[in-house]
């Protein structure tokens, strides 16, 4: 065990300060907004590097919310500490994504069954095969059931977690779409691999903020509504 396994380097709190389920938006100010608007009695448990984390309750169940930062390296270091050092069982990523597939529109909620990636994260483990970043099935089923009960439209499938926002290959998005990938974001594959490595659970629930081929984007009001839809589905999933 390395020195980094004994204490959490980037999250400074006691294990007891964090719930067993953690929602993770990329933006720490989003975490603050979610805590203040969707949880009861939120208290701050982390502010190291301003990566704000709060614990409160939703319908009587303890739930935490904390920023993951942007990209797989940032997601991985926080998910790793939460799973391996701070006793967290399940992480729900709540984030935005760019739509690729024909039927995926701005405002849609996408539940990521698996995440293809151009990151080398899955190759760093001592495995004789390349790992396939995959959601926890019970959480996936919980998210689908929650969306159906709430009447929120959703799509389920494989997403792309890219290491770059500005891809130097001009044909990348078209190739992703032609392979049936629904949308692109930057964290899910890292989260799913961390969950697999520590034998914990994860699900990514995303809202489509823009689309690559039809150039859709959201007004402030639509953005708010789709964020609320994603949050309702995610909180119900956490509550199950």
Place of tokens 């991985």: 76
Does 207 interact with ligand ADE (rule: CB under 6 A)? no
Does 213 interact with ligand ADE (rule: CB under 6 A)? no
Active site residue 210: yes
Does 234 interact with ligand ADE (rule: CB under 6 A)? no
**Mapping DSSP to helix (H, G, I), strand (E, B) and coil, where does residue 217 land?**
strand
Q: Which two tokens stand for residue 159?
A: 């997403």
Place of tokens 């019970």: 138
Number of residues that bind ligand ADE (CB under 6 A): 10
139/186 with CB nearer ligand ADE: 186
DSSP codes, 77-104: HHHHHHHHTS---EEEEEEEEEE-STT-
Binding mask 145-174 for ligand ADE (x = CB under 6 A): -----------------x--x---------
Does 185 interact with ligand ADE (rule: CB under 6 A)? yes
Angle (nearest 5°) at CA 112 between 223 and 171: 80
Q: Which two tokens stand for residue 7?
A: 């204490």
Does 210 interact with ligand ADE (rule: CB under 6 A)? yes
Minimum gap (Å) between residue 235 Cβ and ligand ADE: 21
Among 74, 96, 196, 234, binds ligand ADE (CB under 6 A): 96
Minimum gap (Å) between residue 231 Cβ and ligand ADE: 17
- Best CA proximity match to 96, nearest among 178, 201, 204, 208: 208
Does 186 interact with ligand ADE (rule: CB under 6 A)? yes
CA distance 40 to 55: 9
Return the residue nearest ligand ADE (CB atom): 98
Q: Measured over all CA atoms, what is the biggest interatomic distance in the chain, rounded to whole angstroms?
A: 49
17/27 with CB nearer ligand ADE: 27
- Best CA proximity match to 22, nearest among 97, 78, 77: 78
Summarize as ranges the residues that interact with ligand ADE (CB under 6 A).
96-98, 162, 165, 184-186, 209-210
Please list the active-site residues.
Answer: 210
């Amino acid at each position: 065990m390395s020195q980094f396994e004994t204490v959490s380097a980037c999250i400074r709190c006691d294990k007891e300060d964090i719930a067993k389920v953690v929602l993770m938006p990329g933006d720490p100010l989003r975490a603050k907004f979610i805590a203040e608007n969707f949880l009861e009695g939120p208290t701050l448990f982390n502010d190291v590097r301003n990566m704000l984390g709060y614990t409160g309750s939703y319908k009587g169940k303890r739930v935490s919310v904390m920023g993951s930062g942007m990209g797989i390296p940032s997601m991985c270091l926080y998910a790793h500490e939460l799973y391996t050092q701070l006793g967290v069982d399940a992480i729900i990523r709540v984030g935005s994504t760019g739509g690729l597939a024909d039927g995926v529109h701005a405002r849609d909620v996408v539940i990521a069954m698996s995440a293809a990636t151009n990151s080398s994260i899955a190759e760093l483990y001592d495995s004789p095969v390349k790992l396939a970043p995959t959601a926890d099935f019970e959480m996936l089923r919980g998210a689908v059931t929650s969306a159906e009960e709430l009447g929120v439209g959703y799509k389920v499938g494989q997403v792309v977690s890219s290491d770059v926002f500005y891809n130097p290959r001009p044909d990348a998005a078209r190739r992703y779409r032609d392979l049936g990938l629904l949308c692109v974001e930057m964290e899910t594959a890292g989260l799913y691999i961390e969950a697999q490595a520590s034998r914990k659970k994860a699900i990514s629930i995303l809202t489509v903020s823009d689309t690559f081929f039809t150039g859709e984007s959201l007004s402030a009001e639509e953005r708010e509504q789709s964020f609320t839809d994603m949050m309702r589905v995610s909180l119900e999933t956490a509550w199950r």
